[in-house]
Structure formats: structure tokens, C-alpha cells
């Protein structure tokens, strides 16, 4: 076992109460890595209390629900934060009540907030790192549900094994999971599921996206539009990948109005580094998948101008 896995393993052994937290606005990788890690600890230590805190997302409900956790529990638990780059983006602010936080992540490590940091930004998903941790344990054990959660994390964060950072290890991980008993087809079917309303809204996005001078494709979504199509905020947010694949447009973005004065920018690229531009607007993320929260659609235009400059160069 390499040193860092050993250190984390020792801390898990030492603590009887463990809470796993993630990042705000849950996605498949943060829910997948949280449930996967919880299932590893649960199957290896029957007497430990291990709970996972994450935002409930309808499209991920097949993986399981978050646990109810009292404030006091945070004070005397070991916290393991998965898939979260910075402390201020933790899904659960009560994480700060604990003085024992371990960070497991695959984002650039700009805020190494844990006393142990297992961070590898070359892995396509945090769930991959959790699976590596499992394989490095002497007598590893995990339920099939846990493995399916990890597999979901890898599939969602890698765009079904299509983004950069997918490498031979990723394919070997999925192959190993299939050998260990996951129902791969079931996961794909869950992830493919879509409502008729979403399908109609997809049609709207595909026929109404716009373009900047140098080819950044984008769509601005207001609450009014979502209501008209009867889709939720999260269902609308998920449409970001619909704008991918146009050769002349290697940057694309979806702007989704959450509330008055709060618009979430989801920005993606193919081969162009966008996270530094997002950081200038207070956001961040990966080189090819980043986000920002801004307070107006005018600010979105400023973001678009900056992204357009990247394409111009």
C-alpha cells in the first residue's frame, strides 16, 4: 500500500464515526464517490458509523439517499471530503465543525484543506481514486451497490469515457468492476432515462442556441423558459453537453438562472483551457469543464467575451 493510502486507512481504522461530504450542486461523481467510499467502510467495519452527506438529485436517486446527520456528529467525526476542490464549496458547511478532514479529489489542489490530501488531477473522476484506494487495501471489501455508485461517478465525469484524462486505467477500472459483479447495462439505462418534457426542452436548446463572433456556442435559460417546458433547474442544467461536438466551436456554455441575481454558468471545452478564465470571474474547475456563479445575464456576456477571446487566440 502506498504511503498516502496507508495514512488514510489508518485514520479510518482509528475513528469510529466517519462522515463523507462532497461539493455543492451534486453530480454523479460526488454522489458516486461518497456512496462508494461509504460502502467500502461499511463492508469492512461493521461497528463503525459511517454517513454520507450530499444533495439529493433526482437523476441519481437510483444510487441511494444521503443520511440524516446532526450538527453534533460533525464535531467528533472524521470527515472525508470527496470530489470537492475548495472548502467554501463544500455541500455541508458543518464540515468546519470538525478538526479532522481528509481530502480525496481530482481537481487542481488550489485549497489543500485536509490534514491528509489524496489528490490526483490526472484522474478523470474522484470515484476512480476511491476505487484505487479500495484495491490498495489488504483484504478489500465493498458491496455491489458501492461499486455501481463508483462506476456511475466515472461514467458521468468522463462523459461516458470520452473526455481527456480517460486512460487505460479508467477502462481497466470499469472492466474490473464488471468482473466484480456490477450491472453495467442497468447503470447506462438509468443515466439515459429522460422525461418527455426534457426531450422537448432538448429540442428547444438544439434549435435556439446562439454563437459568439468566434464560435462559442451558448444558451441562456431563464426560469420562465423552464416553466414553459415544465423542466426543473437540474434537468435544464444537464443540457450543457447538447452543445458539444461542433468542430469550429470547441467552447460551449449553458447559463441557467437559479434565482433572481444568481445565474449558474456551466462551461465546457475541447482542448482549450477554460478554468483560468473562469477563475477570473470567481469560478473554477477543470481545464475542460468549469463553472461560475454570476449575478446577471450581463455578467454572462462578459464571460462570453472572455471565452470568445480564447477562441480568437
Alpha-carbon torsion, ordered 63, 69, 74, 79, to 10 deg: -10
Helices and strands, number each (H, E), in the chain: 12, 11
Asked whether position 153 contacts ligand AMP by CB under 6 A, the answer is no
Asked whether position 291 contacts ligand AMP by CB under 6 A, the answer is yes
Spatial contact of 265 and 253, defined as CB atoms under 8 Å apart: yes
CB of 249 to ligand AMP, least distance (A): 17
- Binders of ligand AMP in range 96-135 (CB under 6 A): 107
Binding mask 189-228 for ligand AMP (x = CB under 6 A): ----------------------------------------
Asked whether position 299 contacts ligand AMP by CB under 6 A, the answer is no
Q: For residue 240, what is the DSSP state?
A: G
Which of 153, 284 has the CB closer to ligand AMP? 284
The binder of ligand AMP chosen from 18, 27, 133, 153 (CB under 6 A): 27
> Would you call 182 helix, strand, or coil by DSSP?
coil
CB of 109 to ligand AMP, least distance (A): 13
Burial (CB count <10 Å: 0-12, 13-18, 19+), residue 207: exposed
CB of 80 to ligand AMP, least distance (A): 17
Binding mask 245-284 for ligand AMP (x = CB under 6 A): ---------------------x----------------xx
Which uninterrupted H or E stretch holds 152? helix 144-157
Asked whether position 31 contacts ligand AMP by CB under 6 A, the answer is no
Alpha-carbon torsion, ordered 74, 75, 77, 79, to 10 deg: 60
- Binders of ligand AMP in range 81-100 (CB under 6 A): 85, 89
Q: Which three cell numbers, joined as nine digits, stand for 152? A: 456511475
β-strands 284-285, 289-294: how paired?
A: antiparallel
In whole angstroms, what separates CA 154 from the centre of its chain? 10
CB of 231 to ligand AMP, least distance (A): 17
Asked whether position 66 contacts ligand AMP by CB under 6 A, the answer is no
Which of 137, 306 has the CB closer to ligand AMP? 306
Q: Which three cell numbers, joined as nine digits, stand for 48? A: 463503525
Spatial contact of 30 and 135, defined as CB atoms under 8 Å apart: no
Each residue of 240-254: b (16+ CB within 10 Å) or e? bebbeeeeebbbbbb
Which of 66, 284 has the CB closer to ligand AMP? 284
Spatial contact of 215 and 249, defined as CB atoms under 8 Å apart: yes
The binder of ligand AMP chosen from 285, 299, 304, 308 (CB under 6 A): 285
Which of 49, 241 has the CB closer to ligand AMP? 241
Which of 43, 244 has the CB closer to ligand AMP? 244
Sign of CA dihedral 148, 17, 130, 291: positive
The binder of ligand AMP chosen from 150, 151, 154, 289 (CB under 6 A): 289
Q: Which residues bind ligand AMP (CB under 6 A)?
A: 23, 25, 27, 85, 89, 107, 266, 283-286, 289-293
Amino acid at each position: 500500500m502506498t504511503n498516502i493510502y496507508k495514512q488514510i486507512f489508518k485514520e479510518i481504522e482509528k475513528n469510529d464515526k466517519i462522515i463523507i461530504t462532497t461539493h455543492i450542486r451534486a453530480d454523479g461523481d460526488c454522489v458516486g464517490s461518497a456512496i462508494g467510499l461509504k460502502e467500502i467502510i461499511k463492508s469492512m467495519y461493521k461497528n463503525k458509523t459511517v454517513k454520507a452527506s450530499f444533495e439529493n438529485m433526482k437523476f441519481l436517486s437510483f444510487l441511494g439517499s444521503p443520511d440524516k446527520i446532526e450538527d453534533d456528529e460533525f464535531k467528533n467525526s472524521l470527515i472525508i471530503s470527496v470530489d470537492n476542490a475548495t472548502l467554501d464549496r463544500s455541500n455541508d458547511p458543518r464540515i468546519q465543525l470538525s478538526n479532522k478532514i481528509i481530502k480525496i479529489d481530482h481537481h487542481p489542489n488550489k485549497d489543500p484543506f485536509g490534514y491528509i490530501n489524496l489528490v490526483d488531477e490526472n484522474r478523470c473522476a474522484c470515484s476512480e481514486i476511491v476505487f484505487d484506494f479500495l484495491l490498495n487495501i489488504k483484504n478489500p471489501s465493498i458491496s455491489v451497490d458501492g461499486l455501481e455508485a463508483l462506476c456511475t461517478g466515472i461514467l458521468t465525469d468522463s462523459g461516458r469515457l470520452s473526455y481527456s484524462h480517460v486512460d487505460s486505467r479508467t477502462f481497466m477500472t470499469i472492466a474490473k468492476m464488471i468482473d466484480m459483479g456490477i450491472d453495467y447495462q442497468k447503470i447506462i439505462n438509468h443515466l439515459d432515462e429522460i422525461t418527455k418534457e426534457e426531450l422537448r426542452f432538448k429540442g428547444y436548446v438544439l434549435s435556439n442556441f446562439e454563437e459568439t463572433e468566434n464560435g462559442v456556442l451558448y444558451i441562456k435559460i431563464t426560469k420562465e423558459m423552464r416553466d414553459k417546458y415544465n423542466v426543473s433547474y437540474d434537468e435544464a442544467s444537464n443540457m450543457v453537453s447538447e452543445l458539444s461536438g461542433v468542430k469550429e466551436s470547441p467552447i460551449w456554455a449553458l447559463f441557467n438562472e437559479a434565482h433572481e441575481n444568481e445565474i449558474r454558468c456551466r462551461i465546457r471545452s475541447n482542448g482549450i483551457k477554460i478554468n483560468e478564465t473562469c477563475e477570473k470571474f470567481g469560478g473554477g474547475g477543470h481545464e475542460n469543464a468549469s463553472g461560475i456563479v454570476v449575478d446577471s445575464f450581463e455578467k454572462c456576456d462578459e464571460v462570453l467575451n472572455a471565452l470568445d477571446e480564447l477562441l480568437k487566440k
